[in-house]
A and B are shown apart, each in its own frame.
Chain A
Amino acid sequence: MNLCLYAPEQEENLFIRRQARTWRRSGLIAEAQLRAIDSRTDPQVKEANLFFRILFVAFTLICYSAVIGFYFWIVEPRDHRGVALSLLFFAFAAYGLAEYLVKANHWYRHGVEEALAVTAMGLFCTGMALLLQGRGYDPSLAVKAGIFCAVSACWIYLRFGYLYAALIGYLALCSLPFHMNLPAMELRINLLLILGASLLLSFLFYARPAAEVFREKKNTLIQAVLFAGLYCAVNLRLPDMGRSFFEPSPLQPYAGFPPVLYWTSYVLTFFIPGVGLFHGLKARRRAFIIAGAMAAVVTLSTNKDYLGMKHYAWDPAILGVALVLGALAVIRWFSRGEGKARHGMTAENLLIRENHGIDLDALGAVMVPGFIDSNQPPPQSLSPFEGGESGGGGAERRY
């Protein structure tokens, strides 16, 4: 049963068109060939450019928030029940409008309908939570709100196909154990159960390759995020990552867990990234490769915390050297293969990405002068005995 507002053929056609544009950019097909592909893949929906989409989302959110603000300014509901019912009304109105706009205008990721659908989700959760709230404080309220959020996000994902709605849903689901006042161990176990079950179900459900490529890409992305979440739940030293580097205070022994669990988790922090990388490379799933590589970097960063070893200032440099050497070794290995490839994989750039006018690499470079400025030693003292650098005195006054 397809609950989605868009037919699978429509989304598949959009996927093929995007793919064809990448081929054109990369010089693999000519303009006439692109037009031939376009003429055979009419998706019959209207998609907005990325930046128009961002603007549509932003200004629709401003507009709808102002409408709600204006309503509350006029009506001034007296109690929380009135507020809840008003929010629910606005939630259903926003949802109805979003569905209407998609059906009437054939919009696909246009921005306006996205903002309305996501607003509806937020308003529905808040409204329902307020409605269920009694006069006194109800500790289960956050859990109920989390469940409503997960359910409504799941519905938005199934209906509109927004990937981020699925991720919001999983995030809401994973937030549930945090609202239950559970001890640390039970919290972790609950998190692992939720994430593990979701991942397992997802793998079982999509065991056979999907008929449409776009669906398979979407499933892979969700699975990779769940996989990354699973890793975060397993790594017991993740909350301390970086803290012991900047603060020399000792870490809690075994992170407050029984030693058996602690060492099992230590082994798993190496095993999970390995599995992610292996699966990603074997099944050609880019999202898993990225998730596995990032998990591997985190594992190396938390390794000393696990073993109770002291951090040194040069630890990041060693990690950096390992990353550079590892990458260079892989590049060299690929370049020595037949046609600069091994097992169908290559380090060559096969497809050129779309240039949106903003460069994330270059943005990172902007931060460097600030980092250099903040990591300088104090000025040299005029006298070698001033300022405590002479090795014994540490006197504040001049000798």
Chain B
Amino acid sequence: MKTIALLTDLNRQGILTDQQLHVLSDLHLERRFSLHDELRACLYAGVLFILAGLGFTIKAYFAQLGDIAVIGSLGLCTLGAFCYCFLKGKAYSTEAVAPPNMIFDYLLFFGCTVYSLEIAYIETRFQPLADLWVHDLLISSALFFFFAYRFDNRLVLSLALSTLAAWFGFKMSPDFFHFQQYHRLYAIAYALLLFLTGSLLYRRSIKRHFLDIYLNFTIHFLFLALISGVIQYKVFSLYLPALAICCAIAAAYGLRAKRFLYLLYAMVYGYAGLGIVVADILSGEEGPLFIYFIFSSIGVVGSLYVLSRKFREES
């Protein structure tokens, strides 16, 4: 029980107050034990199971249930969830706002996803917008953005960004990784739009804690698009220098802001892009390729070591 001895010693020297000693000892000895994360996980899993059940039921039984019953029940769920959020939600603030209770965030997320399910059902069954159906996604995305900012909900922001990605023509599927020229440019446009929006809102101090979500989406879309360009055109294109510049920016930001996740992204995507070009140049030459991987990885490990030592000394 070295921690307790240390805390008692600090208290005796007047560094820790009696109340702090009491609280920290309780936490350390788990006399006060929080089940917050476990209960949140339970709520989130529950909501996801409900959504899965709704999706499967609609797909399997829409004929028996009838369109009115499906649309009506989904509409009631959505309306109920949104009404609850507006009634219980705290006032808007540009800063982070804690939810009024633990279910709140998940209920808003549930409302938004059921709304998506309903719109998708109406569009698939009746095609009211015919060829313009894709713009439903844009409207849904705008609505989710509003909810995400109004109620400070990261899940809904993530949903808004992925719905916007769907409007740009992307969805989670194996085809996602086989970019055509058309998709590639759209991915770059989407990533830049997100980056600009996220940065602008951050600079204006509006929900600054959302920046990481914007940056994660930006980096993956942008880097995957650029890497797909490198795979197709190898060294003879603007994709390689663009990838190098983006990696440099991401790494510099990661180091400056001490957000090392972005350094990791920059290193992984950058090394993959360079590896593709080198493998193409040395095609069929196994020996030189091995030598490239040996020396390049030693170089990366060496530079990372210098950086990590620098940051350890600083901290």
Name A's B-contacting residues (CB within 8 A). 9, 12, 16, 19, 23, 28-29, 32-33, 36-37, 40-41, 46, 48-52, 54-56, 58-60, 62-63, 65-67, 69-70, 73-74, 112, 212-213, 284, 286, 289-290, 293, 297, 312-324, 326-328, 330-331, 334, 341, 344-351, 353, 355-359, 361-373, 375-380, 389
Contacts and interface: CB of A to CB of B under 8 A. Distances in A.
B116 A320 contact: no
Given A324-B50, A358-B212, A380 B23 contact: no
A357 B16 contact: no
Contacts, number: 291
Given A40-B6, A313-B61, A377-B124, A363 B39 contact: no
B86 to A, nearest CB: 20
Contacts of A312: 57
Nearest to A387: B63
- The secondary-structure label for the interface of chain A is helix
Contacts of B154: 359, 361-362
Contacts of B30: 284, 344
Contacts of B32: 341, 344, 346, 350
Cβ-closest 3 pairs across A and B: A317-B53, A320-B49, A323-B46
Nearest to B265: A51
Given A9-B2, A51-B261, A368-B162, 19 more contacts: A16-B3, A41-B6, A52-B307, A52-B308, A55-B300, A56-B301, A213-B2, A284-B33, A313-B59, A320-B46, A324-B43, A324-B50, A347-B36, A350-B27, A357-B215, A357-B259, A365-B155, A366-B158, A375-B59
Interface in B270-301: 271, 286-287, 290-291, 293-294, 297-298, 300-301
Interface stretch (B165-173, B177-185, B197-205, B237-245): B165-173
- The secondary-structure label for the interface of chain B is helix
Q: How large is the interface on B (under 10, 10 to 19, 20 to 34, 35 or more residues)?
A: 35 or more
A320 B50 contact: yes
B297 A55 contact: no
Contacts of B116: 368-369, 372
B62 A377 contact: yes
B58 A293 contact: no
24 contacts: A28-B23, A33-B15, A33-B16, A41-B6, A49-B311, A52-B308, A55-B263, A59-B304, A63-B301, A73-B287, A297-B45, A320-B47, A324-B43, A324-B50, A326-B42, A347-B34, A362-B213, A363-B158, A365-B162, A369-B166, A371-B51, A373-B166, A378-B124, A379-B126
B35 interface: yes
A207 B44 CA distance: 35
B117 A372 contact: yes
Contacts of B15: 32-33, 36
Contact of A366 (B37, B47, B162): B162
Nearest to A70: B290
Contacts of B300: 55, 59
B158 A62 contact: no
A55 B264 contact: yes
Contacts of B301: 56, 59-60, 63, 112
Contacts of A319: 46, 49, 53
Contacts of A63: 293-294, 297-298, 301
Nearest to B9: A40
A377 B125 contact: yes
Contacts of B36: 346-350
Contact of A368 (B27, B33, B159): B159
Contacts of B121: 376-377
Nearest to B259: A357
